[in-house]
Amino acid sequence: MPSWGTPLTGVYVQSHGAPSQKENEHPVSIARVEARVQPARPGDPKRVGPYRIIGRLGSGGMGTVHAGLDPAGLRVAVKVIHPAYAADPEFRARFRREVQLSARVQGPCLIPLLAADPDAENPWLATAYAPGPTLDQHVAAHGALTGGTLYAFATGTAQALAAIHAAGVVHRDVKPQNVVLTPAGPRILDFGIAHAADGTSVTRTGVMTGTPGWISPEHYRTGTAGPEGDMFAWGTLVAYAATGRLPFGTGAPDVVAYRVMSGEPELDGIPDELRDPLTKALAKSPAERISADAAAEECTRLLSRQATQVLGADAGPEPGGVSDCLTTEWSVPGVADPAWHLPAPAFRRRALITAVVTAVVAAAVTAGVVTFHNGGDRGDADLTSEGTAPSAPPSGRPAPLTTTGPRKPAETTAPAADPRTIRIPTDPLAGVPDPAYTRAGEETQPHPDEWRSSTTADSPEERDAAKTIRDRMLSMLATKDMDFMQPTITFNQRAQTVLVTGGPVSQLPEDHQDVFRRVGEMAACSTLAHRLENDPTTWPYGRFSVHWKTSDGDLGAAALGFGEATDGCVAETAGQWHGDEFGMATAEIPSSDKSEIRVADATVKAIVATWNANTAETNEDALTVNDGISLGFDPVESAAYVWTDDPNSRFASRASQSNLKGAVEAAVCRKLTGEFNSDKSWSYTRWAVAVHDAYTGTRQFVGSGTCTP
């Protein structure tokens, strides 16, 4: 059963801190395995679920962690439970609860759980692979964190706990062994003793959970473990990261417990400005502690100030905000492992550094974006005779959209067209006297029975279409680090409808669902439009709908959206593309693509420079990076969105808005076309700009268009 979130493992401790014999043999932590891939051993599985096993990452008392690859080449860590524990009904119940809790948690600086099957003969779960040492390993080898890396660590871990608490989950085992320092930023994991805020727990009755030195005062006294306890542990964690020592010392568990409950923490050596949030976190009374949201906000300000000091007093933060600062300030070396270096996959997972405050986020591993166009604009269909996706470009970014179905024979031999310039047909059945798809023009919403009676792909043509839609969706979702939302593609031939289903995730944020809807609609529409054009008399599917399941037992997954591939896949007015609030909302979600981040940063600087170069003509005051101009990308319609909340009231007049539009169009098109011509995997050519309206309190679009490479 697929699920997503963060792997849940941990240590179970008796009430006085001494580990019991059984609880001490905790489920093997994916965080604590060796960094390098070890050879597989006799008896190791060749496959687990959809993953091909290529070696081992480590083993423990409860199971083995295997190095695996998914069908697209994503590196994963697959934990398989030992048969002895799989036979224990109580253990299975705890493991199942672990997976259910993890499905609630989505956010920055967390290791996503990609899939799990607690009902398999040997239960397993798979997470994205996160290279790097744990915090305690790093401190032992290299010493405490310093400078910007320390502030980035405090910010990222607070942001992760804020996401955990927002999902109604309490971690209950925040400690250095459960934080991995990846090249992309810190990652919190291990929820084996996680506790739901509704009171349901995966721990056993009468057993205190946690690790001595990382347990809050109220937990020692009453066994209470709420979000406030996590923040006490966070304060201890950051203090340890800054000094290399525990603020309440080490020793016998009961001695450490006494210091935690009655003593004051030792914070010498911690930067003065960082002491304030840590002191609030380490308050004896839970009611007096800082929340994760407040800690993230306060550390964000400190991180921004740190970056400003590095850049110079007059520089100010770069246009990407604190997320760019975190990238700049984070300095932890990567972990090389030649055993992972396999042929480049069609697309690669990116790890999100943080979603601290703005639309441009810190870097992750290279991946790419896909664009879709209709009408007179460019498309990204790669018409191949076999209808299969080409191999990934050398950059590792995903290949452009591949059209399913046979290619119409060419009358003459010609050079292969740039797949980014091939159009998606707006009316693929034009002039076809007797098409197989007969429901064109119907506007009825899909009925739940159509979803319930849909089936997986049966024919080679259906399987090819399903693969194309799925690959297209994952490549777009990956630019927002959302490719954990694995889609299922089914068909209802009677309804002539292709159905795209996500889930089950019961509490996925609405903005994530909306991105899934837009991505599903675009991928299905573009794929079906090409199929209808190539096989109009035999291909029966022209409608599509996108659904979301909240649980495995959901018998009526809600329809998020639907449409027809005969209506065009991109909305235009009089042949012109215009930005909209849906694209803006997607663009505001931080990107995790290195090229997007680089281009966004350079383009914002270019906008400011272009505006300032024109001030003699426009009589406008010069802009600075503090005037709040941001840029983000919408992979669904291949558009760069520029926006400003106008903190200094620079763009209130129509003249100023017109001047901003001109500067944006000139700078954005210059940057986008330059990237388009130099990078064959770059497909963004559209742009839109929006300005905050003081009267309505919302952003209003003041311009949009399409650049011509």
Q: Which residues of 182-218 are buried (b: 16+ CB within 10 A; e: fewer)?
A: bbbbbbbbbbbbbbbeeeebbbeeeebbbbbbbbbbb
Query: At 498, phi and psi to the nearest 5?
Result: -100, 130
Least Cα distance to 596 among 707, 479, 475 occurs for: 479
DSSP state of 653: S
Question: Residue 270, SS3?
Answer: coil
Q: Which residue has the tokens 């992979």?
A: 635
Q: Are strands 686-693 and 639-644 parallel, antiparallel or unpaired?
A: parallel
487 within 8 A of 502, measured Cβ to Cβ: yes
CA 232 to chain centre: 27
Least Cα distance to 42 among 61, 28, 57, 56 occurs for: 56
Residue by residue, DSSP assigns 176-195 as GGGEEEETTEEEE---TT-E
Query: At 153, phi and psi to the nearest 5?
Result: -60, -45
Catalytic residue among 44, 88, 173, 198, which? Answer: 173
Q: Which residue type sits at 334? A: G
> Is 627 among the residues known to form the active site?
no
Question: Residue 310, SS3?
Answer: helix
Contacts of 453 (CB under 8 A, 6+ apart): 492, 494
Please count the other Cβ atoms lying within 10 Å of the Cβ belonging to residue 578. Answer: 16
Question: Residue 362, SS3?
Answer: coil
Query: At 161, phi and psi to the nearest 5?
Result: -65, -35
Q: Which residue has the tokens 């808005």?
A: 657
Helix (H), strand (E), coil (C) string for 411-465: CCCCCCCCHHHECECCCCCCCCCCCCCCCCCCCCCCCHHHHHCCECCCCHHHHHH
* Residues classed as catalytic: 173
